[in-house]
Structure 1
Amino acid sequence: NQNMNCLFQGTRMSTILLHLSILTLLTTSLGAYADDDSCKKALSKSAFQEEGAISVEWVDKMKSEKPSPLQNRVNEAVQNAGIAKVAMNREVMKNHNTSYTNEVPLGCGTDQKQSGRCWIFAGNNMLRAELLTSKKTDKTFSLSHNYLHFFNMLEKSNRWLWNVEEAQLQNLTRREELKFIESDPLGDGGWYVWYQFLVAKYGMVPQQYMPDTESSISTATLNQTLKTILSDAGVKIKILTHLWNSKATGAYSTKQKELLSDIRQEAMEKIFRILETNLGTPPSSFEFTNLKTKKTETYTPHTFRDKFIKYKADDYVTVANNARRPRNQYYEFIRSTIGVPELNGKDYPIRVLNISFERMDELIRSSIDAGRPMWFATDVGKFLEATPESLSKPSTGIWHPDIYKYSEVYNMPDSQFQLDALTQTEFRLSIPNHAMVIVAYDKPDVNGLTVKYKIENSWGDKWADKGYGHMYREWAELYLAEVVVHKSMLTPDELELIKATPKEILEDDFY
């Protein structure tokens, strides 16, 4: 970390420039308001108290200023039909097409339903496309999402109990203690590195040997049940450690560790049985037929991963496009893993190589050309024409920053709604919240820019274009947070970067 001063200075300079830009914008805006008597009054000291509270007089004044007849009609339209229909930019829709320069073989649409397992679906779908290329499976094939989710919740439960134990050794306030414990939340979501971890430790199985259940497609009740069992064990841990005065000693004795281990083991046995009841028992072996060779073999989850899928977790690396972080730097999120593959085994912290969007675009195209689709994370709801709630309505699944013209509806400048990537990160306006797979790109002019990318989602085959959407380059530059690339696609310099010691940062502070 001592060698990172130049990067800290670069980040600080970016922040200073950002603040200067904001100051300039405010100065310009206030100058414009100064020419308007009504705005002078709105911004006067009488409108807002010195401590920043809104005065009743100011509210009355704002209500008394009636909209124009045209704006009133717009307001009524929004209130009756919703902002999306009124603000829809038909020009974007008119210019849209579904042509692509190159794409990998596509499977049938998948559906995570009422669960947060998108990262598992995206990981499995990425590998499925490679299997289709090899002709070892057909497009109906799918890896079991439920199998990996079983162990996802098992590992997270164990990590949650470990966090409770660790928290009792530290001098933390209640707020700090809860934040420490919940830094590994007991929920469905996750990052690609957690997918790598689960597959490295537990292998994978075909969908038919551990299909989805009612509890895997709608996870809220199961998650609450698991949290109840864990909370009971957590309270027992806290009572014991309080009696031992562990905060003062800062360590557990051998006997104390044994007692804590007993509590954790008892709780984890209950967790396993609850998961088994809701999700099914993970298979230990199964038979599967290679469609290319017509040969049926018996596999374990690990041999299926190694011999049939031929997936090696260490072959993949996550690359990010983060405007507020220096480029060509390797980062590591602190306290971000859900466990270790084996006793005293290698940990799986979240690590990302931050690069420019231009380089990310090159990696996407070279990967698709090589028959490798790409797992990616993004802020999915921004300027999206088709949401999960619109499944029953015709939609295109377009992501484009101009798909909605909010400025024309609200009669405000475009700049109010089209913030650049750096500005959006200042208050975390945009953070990655959904994982999908890039399966194609459109670059009709070899000397021009990529126009758009085809996206495999996990919202079912009734969403958008039979489960596939279309992400335009302008949108990707703003909201495409990270992609997963095979190391064979990286340059020698990039490979050297990921071999170096990464810069550690807080998990919730990278984006």
Structure 2
Amino acid sequence: MIHLSTEITPDQIRRYENELSERKDASVLERAVKKNGILATAQDDIANVNMTPIFSIDLDTGHVANQKQSGRCWMFAALNTMRHAMKDTFNLPGDFELSQNYTYFWDKFEKANYFYENVINTADKPLDDRKVAFLMETPQQDGGQWDMICAIIEKYGVVPQSAMPETFNSSASGQINSLLNLKLRKDAVEFRELVANKASRAEIDEMKDRKLQEVYRILSYSFGEPVTKFDFEYRDSNKEYHIDRGLTPKTFYDKYVKWDLSQYVSIINAPTDDKEYNKTYTVEMLGNVVGGREVKHLNVSMEDFKQMAIAQLQAGQSVWFGCDVGQSSDRKNGIMDTKVYAKDELFDVDFSMSKAERLDYGESLMTHAMVLTGVDLVDGKPTKWKVENSWGDKVGDKGYFVMSDAWMDEYCYQVVVNKNFMPENLQKAQEQEPKMLQPWDPMGALA
């Protein structure tokens, strides 16, 4: 059926004007919103009262890291969960951190190769093909997912921040991202031309090798060349001196982190019609390390989602999680609560959508990763959660946020748990071969 368009008429506008003029509070609200903005006017202070930072389970995780002007939250959150365990095992000082710059270098390098492979594999498609357009929109970026940091660590290991400190470009990634995306798009032109001219795979690989050498040089100038051998020297929280000489990134990981990353799996809650619960999913063209660990999600109910996170916290281990941090969130006070802003009341408009509707219609997806370090249980049920962010200690409660359980229900999409904390039926479900989702599926969003 063809629907003819209908223009807005002067009569409609007059009706809208009359409706607004009949509202007794319209002038007051207009002045308040114009002067203070929407969020400040709609803010409900009751959220501050209800979200007091007191928790029945509260892990001591020390200093809050700061990703600064970069999109490495997923990387910071993962390395933070690992350093939390190291802090307890080796009595490390509270400000100890693993090098985010080291894993950042290798992620950028591997993402370049991943992009090249996707360009080569789609080179027979026209530029206006949706998958080709998707690739060219953002050849690479800072964001990632849990399985992607695992792929980096499994291949390259980790190092303490003292062995490869932050640089200007790792802490403020705008310039390096612009330059890399320019280079990758230019290289895409050449790869597509090579494929169109029936080049052999050997010829394509020869050019790819030259391109990767250039990427390595760009990254080395920007972040420093990755450390290959180093000494780990520190004073513990009792001021006792320690030094461990001649370590490599792999031997450091094996000795000090010691996690079997195959045991840590991604759990999602995506209540959309296209994703059954207790089924696994992956996303086409999502990843970083060619030949490395692939992204794999197990979709579960929110009740199961939370119970596994609680079980891991009860065992004394923090939990990596992904959410849509910009929704109903007060950054300054460190509060994430569905009641923090009463926008419906302010405008007398129903803004409510279900979680599934927000995912299906592009209103929400995972935008940020943080760490659960506590939960408040009342009669065995969670009421609020303690969150370690990576925005430094000037926001929230020295960098920590409080998240209401209702907010978790609506805006949390992913947690990472050790299989030991999964019920047996979900462990079996996680072993299934995953269904492939389209590259633009919301569960492919990068934190």
TM-score (norm 1): 0.80
Q: Is 2:87 aligned against 1:143?
A: no
**Alignment check: 8 A CA contact 1:375 1:436 kept:** yes
Say which of 152, 158, 164 aligns to 2:113.
158
Q: Per-residue CA shift, 1:49-98, capped at 9, x if unaligned?
A: 94144345433543454433422111110111111111111222223311
Offset of residue 268 of structure 1: 1.1
SS of 2:382's partner is coil
The residue type equivalent to 1:162 in the other structure is E
**205-214 vs 287-296, which deviates more?**
287-296
Aligned to 1:83: 38
Aligned to 2:243: 296
Distance 1:371 1:184, change over 3 A: farther
Q: Which whole-Å CA distance do the structure 2 matches of 1:106 and 1:138 have between them? A: 10
Offset of residue 186 of structure 1: 0.8
Say which of 302, 315, 335 aligns to 2:285.
335
TM-score (norm 2): 0.91
Distance 1:52 1:483, change over 3 A: farther
Aligned to 1:400: 337
Say which of 470, 479, 490 aligns to 2:402.
470
Q: Which whole-Å CA distance do the structure 2 matches of 1:310 and 1:304 have between them? A: 9
Say which of 173, 190, 193 aligns to 1:219.
173
The residue type equivalent to 1:407 in the other structure is D
Q: Which runs of 4+ in 1 moved over 4 A?
A: 292-295
Q: Which whole-Å CA distance do the structure 2 matches of 1:50 and 1:180 have between them? A: 31
**Alignment check: 8 A CA contact 1:383 1:403 kept:** yes
**397-406 vs 288-297, which deviates more?**
288-297
**Alignment check: 8 A CA contact 2:126 2:132 kept:** no
Q: Per-residue CA shift, 1:225-283, capped at 9, x if unaligned?
A: 12233333322223333233xxxxxxx6xxx2222122211111111111111111111
Q: Is 2:208 aligned against 1:264?
A: yes
SS of 2:276's partner is coil
Q: Is 2:297 aligned against 1:349?
A: no
Aligned to 1:434: 368
Unaligned stretches of 5+ residues in structure 1: 1-48, 245-251, 387-394
Distance 1:210 1:510, change over 3 A: same
Q: Which whole-Å CA distance do the structure 2 matches of 1:379 and 1:462 have between them? A: 21
Q: Per-residue CA shift, 1:127-181, capped at 9, x if unaligned?
A: 111112224412110001111110111111112222222222x343534363353
Identical-pair percentage: 27
Superposed, which structure 2 residues align to 1:445-456 within 5 Å?
A: 445=378, 447-456=379-388
SS of 1:233's partner is helix
The residue type equivalent to 1:316 in the other structure is Y
Distance 1:199 1:56, change over 3 A: farther
Distance 1:231 1:458, change over 3 A: same
Aligned to 2:59: 104
SS of 2:116's partner is helix
Superposed, which structure 2 residues align to 1:107-186 within 5 Å?
A: 107-168=62-123, 170-176=124-130, 178-179=132-133, 181-182=135-136, 185-186=139-140
Aligned to 2:354: 420
Q: Per-residue CA shift, 1:322-357, capped at 9, x if unaligned?
A: 1113221122222322123xxxx5x42211111111
SS of 2:401's partner is strand
Aligned to 1:308: 256
Unaligned stretches of 5+ residues in structure 2: none
Aligned length: 434
RMSD: 2.1
Offset of residue 295 of structure 1: 4.5
Distance 1:507 1:104, change over 3 A: farther
Say which of 345, 365, 376 aligns to 2:321.
376
**Alignment check: 8 A CA contact 1:159 1:184 kept:** no
Q: Per-residue CA shift, 1:18-70, capped at 9, x if unaligned?
A: xxxxxxxxxxxxxxxxxxxxxxxxxxxxxxx9414434543354345443342
Q: Is 2:446 aligned against 1:502?
A: no
Aligned to 2:393: 461
**Alignment check: 8 A CA contact 2:228 2:249 kept:** yes
